[in-house]
Structure 1
Amino acid sequence: MSNLVDKQKKYIRQVMDGKGWSGYKLANESGVAISTINRFINSDDPSHALSSKTLNSIENASGMLFHIGPVQPAPDIRETIQSIALRLAEHPGVVNAKPEDFAEAFVSIYDYYLEKSSSEDGVNTQDIRAVIDFVAKRLTTNI
């Protein structure tokens, strides 16, 4: 099986187990044909991956997101957010930024962190600090 198909099958099993859903219930809740779900679950065809439309329907119905990157334990969100906020606040002038600009800057840094944490390379502390420093500098020059 291809890596993508393996990850999709694992995701489908996680959704079904996590929600206590059968294949029929998954199909019904997501609006996907039961034949699509059953064919995918039972197929050994490595080229038979689910479409992004099907995955999106399952994500929306289950509230559980499919991630292509390696599955990693969820970071301590509070600690991560606090770390980003403290590093950003260390820069003089950032406190004078417009609240909406600060919020946008903060969210962009956190998005970068999440993207990196789900990549194969993971989060590099020096890289995230460099991104925070760059965003802080841009934020203080836009005041």
Structure 2
Amino acid sequence: MAATACLVFSVPAFAATDEECNTMWKQADANNDGTLNGAEATRYAAWMRVNGKGAPADSMIGKSVFMDNCKSGVFTAAAVDEGAPLEGANSFTEGQAQDRALAAGYTDVSMLTKDDKGIWRGTATIDGKASKVAVDYKGNVVSN
């Protein structure tokens, strides 16, 4: 399905360039008001939490905070492990699994439950379509 298109965001693959970060900012700041808030900020705030950066308490991300995190690789994705989701002891909380799905571009993530194989499974929306989502113990996020 969309598993090959999904990415895991638990470990930055590389730091982005100024140009890449500026392009990403322009795409993220849809209303062009100089601040990410509400739906604009959801994915990036989740990425920050996943990478231990802590998202702003008011869920508003200014351009300088965005650029600093972008340049340090916080918003850069690593490839999903082949065969994901992988079985194993999963220590993520439901909130941590949800953040990984949000960072991977899913919205409306809900009904997450951990199955007997250690995989968080739930429902979500990706690219405007309803989907099932799975988050494994390594942080791989895939549609299933």
**Hey, which of these two has a bigger chunk of strand by percent?**
2
Whose Rg is larger?
Answer: 1
Normalising by the smaller structure, the TM-score range is under 0.3
**Hey, which of these two has a bigger chunk of helix by percent?**
1
> TM-score when scaled to structure 2?
0.24
> TM-score when scaled to structure 1?
0.24
Give the structure, 1 or 2, with the largest relative contact order (CA under 8 Å, sep 6 or more): 2
